[in-house]
Structure 1
């Protein structure tokens, strides 16, 4: 995992420290989130999204994880599509390691580790050791971590004798472990007219629960983009609490809709293209601390 965040080979156990290292090395303004937290209000120039549930499920549920694979795939597809509709030009899908599904094993299938010299920590697919191991049985690589100086791999696909349940495990020195994929997703948007919220300043200090969103359209980019169907959504947190009907908008149009914050004190309004689901514009909404005096003055 550390190798995805830093180039100097340092092993960093804590996620927050890895993120700090990446921000420091790149000098970029990076937003770190969990993948399942991504929604229509997500912002940030560069996002680094993690989905640790896949890793946890593989290690804890073992073969029981098979029934969750389709669910994980559905979540990845949903969030990748959403990110592209939010306007991100590229979405990279990478992993820090792969898994091997060991299956049902006999004791004779496992590699004994009694010959490891010095202190050791045995996992199903690798062994950390204080001393370098010799002989034809292991591939021994110098890598300092905690009290250990070397990490050792088998020269076959067989797992080591270790405690715990066998099933999904880190891949050891198999291709699943050492070959890191990088899938890149892009999206070519249609060349349609722009739609912009025109009263963003008013929305950061509204009185009462009702807010008015004003928006206008620009020029048609070509004859095929002369009309656009849009919808205005109001988010509170990651939930849509109100939305407009579908509005057909032509070049140079000015429109407005009213939405209700109800009991919330802040939210985000988002305009989307109803057909493509592309996000066209958004604005923060904040309720004024002053009470709505209802026209008394």
Structure 2
């Protein structure tokens, strides 16, 4: 995790923990003042100490340094310890301890010897809870109140803020993935269109490569011979065709005129293109297809 990312997390945790910590202290003060004097309520650890710790936590938002992060963790742990020692806030204290664990993990302090550190962390919570029960034997169970709601809110908010960068990154990746999928869909549609176009071209090509049905378009046998000489010689002149077939050039001219009319073309090259598939090579000579 980059330094800028760590500091962003540090500032979020500081602001959220500090503000909600002060709110918790105010709630505790309101609760205590109903049974004690104002001074007694204010100097109660669940009020004065939490206010002090919250203010110190707020100050850690302005110092981008490993020491500042360690101080922040220590203060969060202290807030959790004070809350556990005060049975009224035991659930909130455990929530603070969970926040401590999440932040410490985010800062990378659990990367090495994580199991040993986690066991020590759990033992410290058990010891604090044991001390709390011993000091308050007349109080049994955990009391749920507005404090618990505030601490729960802080826990959830801190969790969100700690992993906000990851959430944004995942969201960004999801957007990129969605755009990529949409682009792939568009590309697939284009490929389908191109495939359809190629299919049509193949169909047209197959049609263009099929031999013409001379009988259907009423090409006479003599005209077929003229076409054959024209195709075989790659564009023979009328004189050359006449010599090859032993007919007069005028007769060839008449045949060519009729062939153009029947095929619907004007040039010799078009006649060759249309009729080249009506002939096949056999021993270097061309014969008409049956």
TM-score computed with the length of structure 2 as normaliser: 0.25
Higher strand share: 1
Q: Which structure has the bigger radius of gyration? A: 2
